[in-house]
Amino acid sequence: MGQVAIKQITVSTLQDAYREKEKIAVLTCYDATFATVLEEAGVDILLVGDSLGNVIQGQSSTLPVTLNEMVYHVQCVARGVSNAFILADMSFGTFQVSPQQAFSNAVQLMAAGAQMVKIEGGRHMAATIEFLTQRGIPVCAHIGLAPQSVHQLGGYKIQGKTPDSARQLREDALLLQDAGAAMLVMELIPAILGEEITRSLAIPTIGIGAGAACSGQVLVLHDMLGLTCGRPPRFVRNFMQGADSIQTAVENYVAAVKSGEFPAHEHIF
């Protein structure tokens, strides 16, 4: 039996969890059925990620995912939940041109059922984040590895390994917080850097390959269910191992995140 949420999760309740040092469990989600399963298992945030390009559409990257496709999947997820928080990725090309363009596109995601949008990029996105938050759209920033910039970065590589790049990520995190970001995803950075950034901020940090000190953790749903095509990334743990159902696997993931058991040493850099 799943641990059904007793109250709706909002930006305020996430901030409360952060202040009380309660870990935040996040998983990607793309449809109503899994949305219900994840909510009943106690997942706090359902991320409707542009990773659907990889795991749903069979694309080699997230770049081909369109705004209309994101809106459709947000609508599907929203129909499956009552209490879980819905975070939606802004897909490639929907926020980079101007803050006004980003606002127009974010409005569509919010109208579809999202409660917050996620934007990839460092300090150059600060003006856009400020523009959105001043107009009532909560924003989650995303630094470190930015999958939408995979070609520019030269592949899926660890970020922040040099003193200069680590300093830039620390500075970017503070700038994005000051611009109004209510949460920050950090992807594929050294654990010690993830801890330093988390300690420097007054907003929750969500890690994926960013160490155990983050305020919460996120994985791609298919990865944590052992459905990765090819070799899974180091930061992934297959929670279907030892579980008798998907529901149990998700409950085990939530428990491992909340207790601090995941990520373990073997999952960090």
Average pLDDT over residues 189-214: 98
Q: pLDDT over 70 for what percent of the chain? A: 95
Assign 3 a pLDDT band (cuts: 50, 70, 90). Answer: very low
Assign 248 a pLDDT band (cuts: 50, 70, 90). Answer: very high
Q: What is the pLDDT of residues 116-136, one digit of tens each?
A: 999 999 999 999 999 999 999
Does position 8 have pLDDT exceeding 70, yes or no? yes
Q: The pTM is what?
A: 0.94
Q: Is 51 annotated as a binding residue?
A: yes
Query: Nearest-CA neighbor of 115 among 86, 90, 139?
Result: 86
Other C-beta atoms within 10 Å of 227: how many? 13
Long-range contact pairs involving 210-213 (C-beta distance under 8 Å, separation at least 24): 210/144, 210/186, 210/268, 211/263, 211/268, 211/269, 212/260, 212/262, 212/263, 212/264, 212/268
Residue 73 confidence (pLDDT): 98
Query: Does the domain at residues 11-267 carry the CATH identifier 3.20.20.60?
Result: yes
Residue 164 confidence (pLDDT): 97
Residues with Cβ within 8 Å of residue 70, at least 6 apart in sequence: 48, 50, 52, 88, 89, 90, 91, 94, 109
Cα gap 95→24, rounded to integer Å: 26
Q: Which of 40, 187, 196, 251 is catalytic?
A: 187
Q: What is the pLDDT of residues 33-63, one digit of tens each?
A: 999 999 999 999 999 999 999 999 999 999 9
Residue 5 confidence (pLDDT): 43
Domain boundaries, the chain: 11-267
What is the residue-averaged pLDDT of the chain? Answer: 94
Amino acid making up residue 30? Y
In terms of pLDDT, which residue wins out, 154 or 5? 154
- Residue labelled with tokens 């080699």: 60
Q: What is the pLDDT of residues 224-237, one digit of tens each?
A: 999 998 889 999 99
Residue 1 confidence (pLDDT): 42
Cα gap 237→257, rounded to integer Å: 11
Cα gap 205→144, rounded to integer Å: 12
Residue 155 confidence (pLDDT): 54
Buried b (16+ CB within 10 A) or exposed e, 42-73: bbbbbbbbbbbbbbeeeeebbbebebebbbeb
Q: Is 50 annotated as a binding residue?
A: yes
Average pLDDT over residues 247-263: 98
Residue 52 confidence (pLDDT): 98
Does position 86 have pLDDT exceeding 60, yes or no? yes
Residue 7 confidence (pLDDT): 77
Q: Is 120 annotated as a binding residue?
A: yes
> Cβ(216)–Cβ(206) under 8 Å?
yes
Assign 152 a pLDDT band (cuts: 50, 70, 90). Answer: low
Average pLDDT over residues 149-158: 63
Assign 162 a pLDDT band (cuts: 50, 70, 90). Answer: very high
Assign 156 a pLDDT band (cuts: 50, 70, 90). Answer: low
Residue 150 confidence (pLDDT): 62
187 is catalytic: yes
DSSP per residue, the chain: -----SS---HHHHHHHHHTT--EEEEE--SHHHHHHHHHTT-SEEEE-TTHHHHTT--SSSTT--HHHHHHHHHHHHHT-SSSEEEEEPPTTSSSS-HHHHHHHHHHHHHHT-SEEEEEBSGGGHHHHHHHHTTT--EEEEEES-GGGHHHHTSS-----SHHHHHHHHHHHHHHHHHT-SEEEEES--HHHHHHHHHH-SS-EEEESS-TTSSEEEE-HHHHTT--SSSPPTT---TTTT-SSHHHHHHHHHHHHHHT-SS-GGG--
Residue 96 confidence (pLDDT): 96
Q: What is the pLDDT of residues 15-24, one digit of tens each?
A: 999 999 999 9
Does position 158 have pLDDT exceeding 60, yes or no? yes
